[in-house]
Structure 1
Amino acid sequence: MRRLAASAPARRVATRSFQTGTKPKASGGYGDEPAYLHAEHMYDLPSMKNRKLKMGLLVFGGLGFGIAVPLFAVAVQQQKAKG
């Protein structure tokens, strides 16, 4: 019986792998396209139209929001405590 087992061909170990039909391109882009489409103008603040108005609204809007949310939360908590 042992001779049959010893003379049998060695079993091949099955390997599994994930395969796709295409290979990934280097640098993650599509041909000559940059990594981010608007990267050239992304942080070009000096050439922004109405920069003072937009940045002023952004800063004071964020400041107002940052003050209004805690005040609103305090008012709600006081209403709950009053009861």
Structure 2
Amino acid sequence: MNTEELRLNIEKALDEIRPFLQSDGGDISLISIDNDSSVKVRLEGACVGCSVNQMTLKSGVEMTIKKYAPQIQEVINISGL
């Protein structure tokens, strides 16, 4: 899978997650893909400062991204940018 295919698969994963975040007043953006193994995202809106956002990130976001792009090793939330 090349970098463009990887980006498209990660965007598909985020599109699957986005409705759940938006229903709670939040959102998520893809910031970068590093070395085709690490993804940086930014939780937005109501997700910023939410006490469950780290759990959401690990259980929902990371799991869904890995389903679409198994080579991804980690998902990092970049906040406050």
Larger gyration radius, structure 1 or structure 2: 1
TM-score (norm 1): 0.24
TM-score (norm 2): 0.25
Say which structure is richer in helix: 1
Q: Which has the higher contact order (CA 8 A, sep 6+)?
A: 2
Say which structure is richer in strand: 2
